[in-house]
Each structure stands twice: as C-alpha cells, then as structure tokens.
Amino acid sequence: MLSVASSASAQDESPYRVEIDLNRQTAYLINGHRVVMQSPISSGRYGHLTETGSFKVIEKERNHHSSIYGKIVDSYGRTVIADADVDMRVPSGCRFVPAPMPYFMRFHGSDGMHAGYLPGYPASHGCVRMPDQLAIAFYNAVDVGTPVTVFGRTPRTNQYFQYGGQPQQQQRPPWPWFRQPIGPQYEPRPQIYESRPVYP
C-alpha cells in the first residue's frame, strides 16, 4: 500500500510541465524536451498582470466561477456592466453574475488557466484564458503538482483591436494543429461574457 508521502511524490512526478510565454501570448504543454501542445492565450492586462515565476498546479475545478469578477445584468439577463467586480454597487433591479471559468487550473493565488474569450490581446484580471478545446486538453493532461512556469513580458499596445487582429507584421505563422491564424476565431461564441468588453 502506498504511503501518503509516496502518493504525494507520485503526484508531483507529472510527465508534463506547462510554460507560459507572456510576450508571445502562448502556453506550451511539454513532455520531457518535446512540446506536445501549444495554445494561444489572453493573459492579465496592465493593472492585473499575470504573475511571473515558477509555480505548480494547486487546484483543478471543472466548473469554476470567479469569486471576484463577473458582470452585472438586468432583470432580462442583458449585460449592464461587462467588467464588474463584487465590490461594485449593483443598480436596482440588477444582479451580479460571477464569471464562469470552466476547466480551471489554479497555479498561483487567484490566477489559473481556464477556457475563456481571447480578444487578441492581454485582457484578463490575471488568469490565462485559452480556447475551449485547448483548455480541455490541458486540463486533462495536467495534475495537481504539475510544474507551471510563467515568463516574459506582457506586450503593451496603445491600440486594441476589437476583433483580435494584430497588425500584419506582428502575426505569427498559422497554428499547426488547426491550420488557423491566431485570433478570436477560436472563440466564435465567447464563453465568459455574452457581450465582448473592450477595455480602455
């Protein structure tokens, strides 16, 4: 019978590790020296930057909801404030709806990887958003204890692109698994908000 210590040790010996490059806005699932999967991401925007450093997955939750962020909707479910937090005053007749973060993989404080809307630039409150299918694939591959390294510098731009397209010279080659360019086409139906917030 395995002891608690040996069981924890086995859990820490995940065959995978995750590396998140903030500059390239890409997450990599790595086995040994081989990248087995990569995903475009939307990391924390300025004011809510994703923390850099060496971490481990400390929690996995299939149907996670934010305890801090979400949106405010009216009695008909229409979005009144898309980028809301629990401390905001909720207008009469409205309610606060926590942001869903499906396939949540917490690795530091309140930061984690999860399925979400990718607008084409860093836009989260610190989490690392991924397209649905890739978040599921990462979620199924990693365990509690899987190493996560976050590095690089979050790109800063004076211009946001509502539909996610970056200037032509900044676009990367097509992503090999689906042969599609990086962009919001991974999320034709946003999973976090019904409306697509554009941040100043």
- Please tell me the predicted confidence (pLDDT) of residue 162: 37
pLDDT at 197 over 50: no
pLDDT at 178 over 50: no
pLDDT at 79 over 90: no
- Are the C-beta atoms of 64 and 114 separated by less than 8 Å? yes
Our CA angle for 190, 194, 200, nearest 5°, is: 85
At which residue do the structure tokens 């995750």 appear?
18
Tens of pLDDT, residue by residue over 109-156, are 889 999 998 998 998 888 999 999 999 999 999 999 999 999 999 987
Lowest mean pLDDT among 17-21, 157-161, 181-185: 181-185
Please give the mean pLDDT across all residues of the chain: 76
- Are the C-beta atoms of 102 and 64 separated by less than 8 Å? yes
Running DSSP on this structure, what letter comes out for residue 141?
H
Q: How far apart are CA 145 and CA 10, in angstroms?
A: 9
Lowest mean pLDDT among 9-18, 54-63, 84-93: 9-18
Our CA angle for 119, 96, 111, nearest 5°, is: 50
CB atoms within 10 A of CB 144: 15
Q: List, in order of start, the domains of the chain with CATH numbers.
A: 12-60+102-176 (2.40.440.10)
